[in-house]
Amino acid sequence: MTAHQPWGVSVVIPGHEGIGASVDAAVIDSPSGNPRALPEEYPPVGAEVDAVVQQLRRYTSPAWARLSLRSQDLECFQWGCDFCDTPVVLSPGGDGVTLDVRSADGPGSTAIVAHRECLAIRLHTRSLEPARIRSVGRKP
């Protein structure tokens, strides 16, 4: 943790100091039961903690990582599918995939999160990619 902010905390990811990173108060466990952690519940500045990458944005430079400190996310990370808007598990063994969307016209990219099947069924019937989407990252 590098600094406390009204919205959460600024952080540095060791080994990736060139990437901006932050944790919103809504994804910090609140011992008091609030939906957003109170500033006094934030980890102390200088603390090293485990986190999950919630979102990585490279739409503008530098890239920006939004992290989660919620204990439930450390156990099983879920995010809304960009196709059907239901939760998709992005932790190992889950059914989620992420797509990095880039253009040859210039820098920047964004990420799309999807269930494997939501993505696979939206491709043209002649595409060879649905089978690959269903198997990428899975052990044979």
pLDDT digits (tens, 9 = 90+) for 95-134: 999 998 888 888 888 889 999 999 999 999 999 999 999 9
**139 pLDDT exceeds 80?**
no
Cis bond leading into 62, ω under 30°? Answer: yes
pTM of the model: 0.73
> Per the structure block, which two tokens stand in for 133?
């989407």
- Non-local (6+) Cβ contacts of 91 within 8 A are 75, 76, 77, 78
* CA–CA gap between residue 23 and residue 95 (Å, rounded): 25
| Three-state SS sequence of 87-121 | EEECCCCCCEEEEEEEECCEEEEEEEEEEHHHHHC
C-beta of residue 118 within 8 angstroms of C-beta of residue 84: yes
Collapse the DSSP code of 136 into the 3-class scheme (helix H, G, I; strand E, B; otherwise coil) and give the result: coil
E strand or H helix that includes residue 10: strand 8-11
> Per the structure block, which two tokens stand in for 117?
């099947």
pLDDT of residue 60: 77
**62 pLDDT exceeds 90?**
no
pLDDT of residue 92: 86
pLDDT of residue 57: 81
pLDDT-above-90 percentage for the chain: 74
